[in-house]
Amino acid sequence: MQTLIPAALASKAGRQLGDIAVLYRNRNVGDVAAIQAVTAGYPFVRIDNAAPYRKVPLTSWVEDCAIWCAGGWKISGPPLRDLQGRWRSFHGGLADRAARDAAARLTGFLWSHRGNGPALGFVEALKDELLGTLIDARGELADQAAHVNNMHKALQPEGVLAGTTKAQLGRRDGAPKQLNLLTLHSAKGTEYDVVIILGLDQGDFPSPNWFDNTLEKMEEARRLFYVGVTRARDEAHLMYSGFRKNQYGKIYRDGPSEFLNGLLP
């Protein structure tokens, strides 16, 4: 990371840390990446179990509303009908008239907040104008609302997502001046100029556990690998250490992941 990232930043004019993602399979590898980022002095945001807020239906809906307002409305991505349907579902069973009114309120809000402005103001307005009433009426959503509050906190000037735009929140990226650290699962639906995938050692990815090496699970792991590779717009760097240790400290030198073979000509 201490050589790849400076080189990636220098290779394209205007490129920022937010254009680079470090991907990994699990939080343990993420911890190593975070330590390296701290050592190198790079600010970063993590999208895994150590993320600033958890992905739950309500936070994912807020992200999708943000991307719709940031320009998704032009291409119906995501479709407004989908956002409306999910909004109605948060209310529980609604009569036809109430369901139409709820959809209309949401549509009016989204239409008036089009443009790729700061995500902080957008989330604040969404909480004040729509979510506050919903949470008051639907106490069972309190846990999910807490994660929206964590999102709001992270977007504050002193938060880890300070400076994030609606488009970046919708893509589930970090802020422009922060390196993105995220799991391969969390990377689905995102794109970055440069992607660095860590931990591609045979026995770590795919897993050394025999019960994880069924045909179905191997294919799932292979798909996850290709998800990571295809997140890169310009460059993908695939990293392995050349050895791995088991829980007892025994060292194995099995080389790079077998998934890398599929990329060779």
Retrieve residue 33's tokens.
């990446």
CA distance 176 to 15: 9
Q: What is the pLDDT of residues 85-125, one digit of tens each?
A: 999 999 988 888 999 999 999 999 999 999 999 999 999 99
Retrieve residue 252's tokens.
């194995």
55 vs 183, residue with greater confidence: 183
The distance from CA 73 to its chain's CA centroid, rounded to whole angstroms, is 21
153 vs 50, residue with greater confidence: 153
Q: Whole-structure pTM over 0.85, yes or no? A: no
Q: What is the pLDDT of residue 164?
A: 87
Average pLDDT for 129-153: 94
127 vs 207, residue with greater confidence: 127
CA distance 9 to 191: 16
Residue 6, helix vs strand vs coil: helix
38 vs 134, residue with greater confidence: 134
Q: What is the pLDDT of residue 176?
A: 76
Q: What is the pLDDT of residue 62?
A: 96
Residue whose C-alpha is closest to residue 167's, from 63, 75, 19, 61: 63
Q: What is the pLDDT of residue 208?
A: 59
Q: What is the pLDDT of residue 95?
A: 86
C-beta of residue 204 within 8 angstroms of C-beta of residue 247: no
Q: Which residues contact 6 (CB under 8 A, 6 or more apart)?
A: none
Residue whose C-alpha is closest to residue 128's, from 93, 161, 100, 152: 152
Q: What is the pLDDT of residues 161-216, one digit of tens each?
A: 888 899 888 765 456 788 999 899 888 778 899 999 998 888 788 775 655 567 88
Q: What is the pLDDT of residue 238?
A: 93
Q: What is the pLDDT of residue 174?
A: 54
CA distance 124 to 147: 14
Average pLDDT, the chain: 87
CA distance 96 to 88: 11
Q: What is the pLDDT of residues 77-95, one digit of tens each?
A: 899 999 999 999 999 888 8
